[in-house]
Amino acid sequence: MSIDFKSRAVAGVRGLQPYQPGKPIDEVAREMGLDPNQIIKLASNENPLGPSSMALDAARQALDEMCLYPDGNGFNLKQKLAARLSVTPAHLTLGNGSNDVLELVIRGFACAGDEVVFSQYAFAVYPISTLAAGAVGIAVAAKGWGHDLDAMAEAINDRTRIVFVANPNNPTGTAVGRAAIESFLRKVPEHVIVVLDEAYCEYFEGDEFPDGVDLLSDYPNLVVTRTFSKAWGLAALRVGYAVSSTDIADVLNRVRQPFNVDTIALAAATAVLDDDDYLQRSREVNRKGLKQLAAGFEALGLEYIPSSGNFIAVDVGENAGQVFQGLLRRGVIVRPIEAYGMPRHLRVSVGLEAENARCLEALSEVLESMNG
């Protein structure tokens, strides 16, 4: 007797597709018959500098405690974050990456029939978590590839429980300034939670960055989420956090899984917060890399979306899938983003100078071979 377990899944889950991450180097090496040491990965918005030496030292020391459960409250990391952000530990919720924290917000505040608002071309976790909870996702049409905050405010109704705003946004790299964010927050009813996803905030250039933590005292319905995976170089360890009112944090911690951040991750994240030199080098490498990639795309006659993150979405034409495969054959991994409704674009993470140059050279070769 055969049972169709897919049909027995909850309704929201039946409509989902698994999240597709960037291809790992080993997989490409197997598929393409390449030497993994000759492959560069510019697909997952990772930090090309490698980890901080301070984080590595702390992680190695923490290995001795591998047989023990982690500190379920993350005391040391919360103390360090609280001091850095000028909040109290009670305002913080730790997560297994910021993805985990984003899902906690959904689980804590949305259920079947509720509505969750987000932008077109926004991070895939928003609709995935919304549908999995049985809630209804409202995708608001983008404006210039970015968030149309006025339209998002108009989309809020009596059924709306949560609004997600990614700033900067993945995968488009678009960002909005402080005045626009504050204007939007003033329009949102006080009972609707606004999640300001600042996973890429460390890369934001200019004086207009709307630091969400600074806005918390004026907007108690605001939740700010951040991660150690990008500028802080700890993607493999999965550490993220939310900063919110203590009331909201209390709810998030009620649905948070026990020991959701492991001992090694806690130790590395706590240590890396003292390595401001590493953070500044990460920003500088990214600043130069964005300019290098943009100049290269312009030289190839390709349009791209100006980015405030550590990646650029570039329009390579109708045959983006073929371009992606051509790059793979040359040992360059980037990210197709057709699943985001952007079939002509590839998202290219910023690498080291030599990696960016190799990507541009390979892209030129692929385009020339396709046009010739």
Kindly indicate the confidence band of residue 168, based on its pLDDT and cuts at 50, 70 and 90.
very high
Which of 9-18, 78-87, 125-134 tops mean pLDDT?
Answer: 78-87
CB count, 10 Å around CB of 271?
22
The pLDDT confidence band at residue 209, using thresholds 50, 70 and 90, is: confident
5: pLDDT strictly greater than 70:
no
Q: What would the mean pLDDT of 113-131 be, rounded to a whole number? A: 94
pLDDT confidence bin for 88, thresholds 50/70/90: very high
Lowest-confidence pick of 164-173, 200-209, 359-368:
200-209
Under 8 Å CB-to-CB from 324, ≥6 apart: which residues? Answer: 334, 336, 346
pLDDT tens-place string over residues 180-196: 999 999 999 999 999 99
Model pLDDT for residues 236-255, shown as the tens digit of each residue: 999 999 999 999 999 999 99
58 in Cβ contact with 212 (< 8 Å)? no
Question: What are the structural domains, with CATH classification, of the chain?
Answer: 5-50+277-371 (3.90.1150.10), 53-272 (3.40.640.10)
Q: What is the pLDDT of residues 304-328, one digit of tens each?
A: 999 999 999 999 999 999 999 999 9
Is the confidence at residue 233, as pLDDT, over 90? Answer: yes
> How much is the average pLDDT of 354-362?
97
Q: What is the reported pTM?
A: 0.93
Q: What is the pLDDT of residue 271?
A: 98
What mean pLDDT value characterizes the chain?
A: 94
Alpha helices in the chain (DSSP H): 5-8, 11-14, 25-32, 53-62, 75-85, 98-109, 125-132, 149-154, 178-187, 212-215, 246-255, 263-272, 276-299, 320-329, 353-371
Of 286 and 210, which is predicted with more confidence? 286
3-state secondary structure at position 193: strand
Q: Taking a C-beta distance cutoff of 8 angstroms, is the pair 308, 168 a contact?
A: yes
For residue 372, the model assigns a pLDDT of: 65
Q: Does residue 1 carry a pLDDT above 60?
A: no
Q: What is residue 205's predicted lDDT score, i.e. its pLDDT?
A: 84
Tokens 């918005």 sit on residue:
45
Report residue 311 as tokens: 């990646």
Q: Which is more confident, 207 or 77? A: 77
Residues found in the chain: 372
Query: Percent of the chain beyond pLDDT 70?
Result: 97
Task: Please state the rounded mean pLDDT for residues 95-101.
Answer: 94
Give the per-residue pLDDT at 16.
67
**Mean pLDDT confidence for 23-35:** 84
> What's the first-to-final CA gap in the chain, in angstroms?
56
Q: What is the pLDDT of residues 254-267, one digit of tens each?
A: 999 999 999 999 99
**Residue 363 · residue 357 · CB < 8 Å:** no
pLDDT at 160: 97
Supply the DSSP string of 208-228, one letter for each residue.
T---HHHHTTT-TTEEEEEES
pLDDT of residue 29: 83
Tokens of 313: 């979405």
